[in-house]
Amino acid sequence: MEKVRFGIIGFGNMGSSHARYLTAGEVKGAELTAVCDIKPSKLEFAKEKYPDVARFDNHMDLLKSGLVDAVIISTPHYFHPEIGIDAFNAGIHVLSEKPAGVYTKRVYDLIEVAKKSGLVYGLMFNQRTNPMYIKMREIVQNGELGELTRSNWIITDWYRTQYYYDSGDWRATWAGEGGGVLANQCPHQLDLWQWIFGMPKRIHAFCHEGRHHDIEVEDDVTAYAEYENGATGVFITSTGDTPGTNRFEVSGTKGKMIAEGKTLTVYKNSKDSAELIKEDTESGFEKPEVETVVFNFEDEGPKHKGITQNFTDHILTGAPMIASGYEGINGLSIANAMMLSSWKNDFVECMNDGEEFWAELQKKIANAKPRVKRVVEEKIADLSNTYGSKK
Tens of pLDDT along 276-330?
999 988 888 989 999 999 999 999 999 999 999 999 999 999 999 999 999 999 9
pLDDT of 1 = 83
Give the rounded percent of residues in the chain with a pLDDT score beyond 90: 91
> Has residue 102 got a pLDDT over 90?
yes
The letter for the amino acid at 177 is E
> Has residue 106 got a pLDDT over 90?
yes
CATH code of the region 4-125+302-321? 3.40.50.720
* Mean of pLDDT values over 161-165: 96
pLDDT of 168 = 81
Give the rounded percent of residues in the chain with a pLDDT score beyond 70: 95
Mean pLDDT of the chain: 94
> Has residue 389 got a pLDDT over 60?
no
Gap between the Cα atoms of 113 and 39, Å rounded:
28
- Read out DSSP for 34-46? EEE-S-HHHHHHH
pLDDT of 110 = 98
Band of the pLDDT at 371, cuts 50, 70, 90? low
Gap between the Cα atoms of 279 and 273, Å rounded:
10
Convert 44-100 into a string of H (helix), E (strand) and C (coil): HHHHHHCCCCEEECCHHHHHHCCCCCEEEECCCCCHHHHHHHHHHHCCCEEEECCCC
Under DSSP, the state recorded for 372 is P
> Has residue 48 got a pLDDT over 50?
yes
> Has residue 370 got a pLDDT over 80?
no
Q: Which residues does 285 contact at the CB level (< 8 Å), separation at least 6? A: none
**Run of H or E residues at 340:** helix 328-344
Gap between the Cα atoms of 34 and 21, Å rounded:
14
Gap between the Cα atoms of 338 and 175, Å rounded:
18
Specify the 3-state DSSP secondary structure of 300. coil
pLDDT of 228 = 98
> Has residue 203 got a pLDDT over 90?
yes
Tens of pLDDT along 140-154?
999 999 999 999 999
State whether CATH 3.30.360.10 applies to domain 128-300+331-371: yes
Convert 258-296 into a string of H (helix), E (strand) and C (coil): EEECCEEEEEEECCCHHHHHHHCCCCCCCCCCEEEEEEE
Under DSSP, the state recorded for 145 is T
Q: Domain spans of the chain?
A: 4-125+302-321, 128-300+331-371
Q: What count of Cα atoms within 13 Å lies in the side-chain half-sphere of residue 132?
A: 21
Query: Which of 168-172, 247-251, 346-350, 382-386 comes out lowest in average pLDDT?
Result: 382-386
Torsion, Cα 95 101 105 106, to 10 degrees, reads: -60
Span between the terminal Cα atoms of the chain, in Å: 34
337, 361 Cβ separation under 8 angstroms: no
67, 92 Cβ separation under 8 angstroms: no
